[in-house]
C-alpha cells in the first residue's frame, strides 16, 4: 500500500465532517453481528444458532412476503414481453403499460426527468389530495431514491454555506433517526436537539421547543424543524393538537418544516390516527397555509417493505418560484431516481380499486401484513413492561420499540472501564450471548442519564416470541450479574 505520505487521503486529510458522521443502525454492533454470522457458518460454536438482526426496519429480510400486485407490475415493467401473457391480471397490465408509455423508448432502462415520471407524480398528487382533502400539485412532487435522498436534497437547500455561528441549524427530535444527525455532520451544519417527553408517550412539548431554539441561537442560524411521525425510534404517534402546536411554533420562529411521514400506514394503537402536516397546516388556514413544508414518504415501510427498490417522494409546497427552480436544478445533477423504485411508489399511491381483478388479493395481503404488525406491537409492548428493570411506551405506530433499561451502577462502571456507553455495553452483551442484534439508544441520542435500545417488531410472530423469551432470560441474568 505504500507509506502514508504517498496518500492524498489519510485520517489527517479526510473531510472532518465525514470523520464526525455516525450512523448507528449500521454501526459497530451490526458489524459484529455480521462477523458472528460468518463464524456460525464456519462452524464456530456459539450459545445461539443464528443471528437475529432486529437493528433495521428491513421488512423482507425478516420474512415479510412481497405484495403480489407490486411485484407483478414490476415484472411486466422489467420484461414487457410478459404483457402478452395470460399469467397477469388486466389491471396489472394496464398499470405497467401506463408506466412504460411514460418512459423514453418504453423502457425502464431509460432516464426519466430528474423529478421523476410525470404520470407517477400525478398519481402521488392524487393520493395526497384524496388523503388530505386538499389539492396537491404534481409539479410540487419530486420522486427520489428512497425518502432519505429526498430529505437530504431539501436539507441542502437550507444550508448557509457558512461556518461558526452563521451555519444552518436543524431542530431534530431526541431520540432521532440517525439519518438527520449524520446529514447534519456531513454538511457541517448545527444540530438543535429537542427532547421528546418519554413520560407522556414521547409527545412533543412546545416549552421544550422554545428552550431548545433559545439555547441554539447564539451558535447557529436555526433554519428548519424535523418532525418524525409516526416516530422512529419511539413508535409514537402525534395527536393533531400536537401537530398544530408544532406548526404554530415553526411559524413564530420562521422555520421550514421537514415532516418525515414514511410510517403513515403503520398505526396500531387504539385511538391513534395519522394526520399529515400538509392537511393540518391547510386546516389552520391563513397564514399557516402559506408556510414552507416538505413532507416525505417511502416505499420501504408501510405494508410494502420494498426497501431494496429505493423508492420515495417529497411534496414540497409554498416555495418561491425562483427557489423551486434552483431546487430542481440541484437535483438534476443526480439525473433521476431508479425507474423501478418509481414504479413501486406508483403501486403504493395508486392501489387496486374495488372491482379490479387484483383488488381482493391486494387487500387481503395488505391487511394481513398490518394486522400482524399490530399483534407484534402489542406483544412486544406487553413483554417489555412485564420485565424487571425495563419500561416501554406503547408501540403505537411505525416498526420499532424503544424501551428504557434501568442498569445497575456496577454495569455502568463496567461499561466505562471498556470505553463504551452503558447501553452499547448492554447491546453488545445481548448480541454475544443471544445473537439478537439491536441498536443502543445512544445511537439515536437520548436524555442524559437514561439508557435505551431500539428493536424492530418485524420478525414473524412465533420467531418474535422466541426472541423475546431469550431476551428476557438474558436481561434477568445481566441484572443479577451486575447487582
Question: Does 104 score more than 90 pLDDT?
Answer: yes
**CATH 3.90.1150.10 spans which residues of the chain?**
4-63+364-482
Q: How far apart are CA 89 and CA 73, in angstroms?
A: 10
**CATH 3.40.640.10 spans which residues of the chain?**
111-349
Residues 19-62: pLDDT tens digits?
A: 665 554 556 888 888 898 899 899 989 888 888 888 777 888 88
Contact 237, 230 (CB under 8 A): yes
DSSP 197: B
Residues 296-352: pLDDT tens digits?
A: 999 988 888 888 889 999 999 999 999 999 999 888 888 889 999 999 999 999 999
Q: How far apart are CA 396 and CA 390, in angstroms?
A: 18
Partners of 405 in beta bridges: 390
Residues 398-412: pLDDT tens digits?
A: 888 999 999 999 999
Helices 68-78 & 339-349 angle (0-180, nearest 10): 140
The rounded mean pLDDT for the chain is: 90
Residues 220-243: pLDDT tens digits?
A: 999 999 999 999 888 899 999 999
pLDDT confidence of residue 5: 65
Model confidence, pTM: 0.89
Q: What's the grid cell of residue 277?
A: 402536516
Contact 283, 277 (CB under 8 A): no
The number of helix segments (H) and strand segments (E) in the chain equals 16, 14
In the chain the first and final C-alpha atoms are separated, in Å, by: 49
Q: How far apart are CA 311 and CA 309, in angstroms?
A: 6
Domain 111-349 indexed as CATH 3.40.190.10: no
Q: How far apart are CA 208 and CA 227, in angstroms?
A: 14
- The CATH fold assigned to 4-63+364-482 is 3.90.1150
Amino acid at each position: 500500500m505504500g507509506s502514508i505520505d504517498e496518500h492524498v487521503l489519510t485520517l489527517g486529510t479526510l473531510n472532518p465532517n465525514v470523520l464526525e458522521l455516525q450512523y448507528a443502525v449500521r454501526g459497530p454492533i451490526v458489524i459484529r453481528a455480521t462477523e458472528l454470522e460468518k463464524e456460525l457458518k464456519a462452524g464456530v460454536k456459539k450459545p445461539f444458532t443464528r443471528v437475529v438482526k432486529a437493528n433495521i426496519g428491513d421488512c423482507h429480510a425478516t420474512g415479510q412476503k412481497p405484495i403480489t400486485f407490486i411485484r407483478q407490475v414490476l415484472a411486466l415493467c422489467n420484461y414487457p414481453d410478459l404483457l402478452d401473457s395470460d399469467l397477469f391480471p388486466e389491471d396489472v397490465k394496464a398499470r405497467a403499460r401506463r408506466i412504460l408509455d411514460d418512459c423514453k423508448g418504453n423502457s425502464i432502462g431509460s432516464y426519466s426527468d430528474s423529478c421523476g415520471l410525470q404520470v407517477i407524480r400525478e398519481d402521488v398528487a392524487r393520493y395526497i389530495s384524496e388523503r388530505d382533502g386538499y389539492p396537491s400539485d404534481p409539479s410540487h412532487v419530486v420522486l427520489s431514491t428512497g425518502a432519505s435522498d429526498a430529505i437530504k436534497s431539501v436539507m441542502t437547500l437550507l444550508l448557509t454555506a457558512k461556518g461558526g455561528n452563521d451555519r444552518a441549524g436543524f431542530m431534530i427530535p431526541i431520540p432521532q433517526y440517525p439519518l438527520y444527525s449524520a446529514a447534519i455532520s456531513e454538511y457541517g451544519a448545527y444540530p438543535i436537539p429537542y427532547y421528546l417527553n418519554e413520560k407522556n408517550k414521547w409527545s412533543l412539548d412546545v416549552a421544550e421547543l422554545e428552550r431548545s431554539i433559545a439555547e441554539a441561537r447564539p451558535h447557529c442560524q436555526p433554519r428548519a424543524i424535523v418532525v418524525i411521525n409516526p416516530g422512529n425510534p419511539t413508535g409514537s404517534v402525534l395527536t393533531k393538537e400536537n401537530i398544530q402546536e408544532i406548526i404554530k411554533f415553526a411559524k413564530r420562529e420562521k422555520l421550514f418544516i421537514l415532516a418525515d411521514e414514511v410510517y403513515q400506514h403503520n398505526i396500531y394503537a387504539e385511538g391513534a390516527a395519522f394526520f399529515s402536516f400538509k392537511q393540518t397546516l391547510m386546516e389552520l388556514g391563513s397564514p399557516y397555509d402559506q408556510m414552507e413544508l416538505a413532507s416525505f414518504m417511502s416505499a420501504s415501510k408501510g405494508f410494502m417493505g420494498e426497501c431494496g427498490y429505493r423508492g420515495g417522494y417529497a411534496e414540497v409546497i409554498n416555495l418561491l418560484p425562483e427557489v423551486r427552480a434552483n431546487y430542481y436544478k440541484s437535483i438534476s445533477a443526480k439525473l433521476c431516481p431508479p425507474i423501478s423504485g418509481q414504479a413501486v411508489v406508483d403501486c403504493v399511491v395508486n392501489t387496486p380499486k374495488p372491482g379490479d381483478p387484483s383488488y381482493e388479493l391486494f387487500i387481503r395481503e395488505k391487511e394481513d401484513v398490518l394486522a400482524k404488525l399490530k399483534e407484534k406491537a402489542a406483544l412486544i409492548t406487553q413483554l417489555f413492561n412485564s420485565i424487571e428493570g425495563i419500561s416501554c411506551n406503547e408501540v403505537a405506530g411505525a416498526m420499532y420499540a424503544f424501551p428504557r433499561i434501568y442498569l445497575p451502577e456496577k454495569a455502568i462502571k463496567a461499561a466505562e472501564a471498556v470505553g463504551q456507553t452503558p447501553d452499547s455495553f448492554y447491546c453488545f452483551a445481548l448480541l454475544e450471548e443471544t445473537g439478537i442484534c439491536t441498536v443502543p439508544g445512544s445511537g439515536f441520542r437520548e436524555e442524559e442519564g437514561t439508557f435505551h435500545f431500539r428493536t424492530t417488531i418485524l420478525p414473524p410472530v412465533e420467531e418474535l416470541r422466541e426472541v423475546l423469551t431469550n431476551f428476557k432470560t438474558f436481561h434477568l441474568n445481566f441484572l443479577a450479574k451486575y447487582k
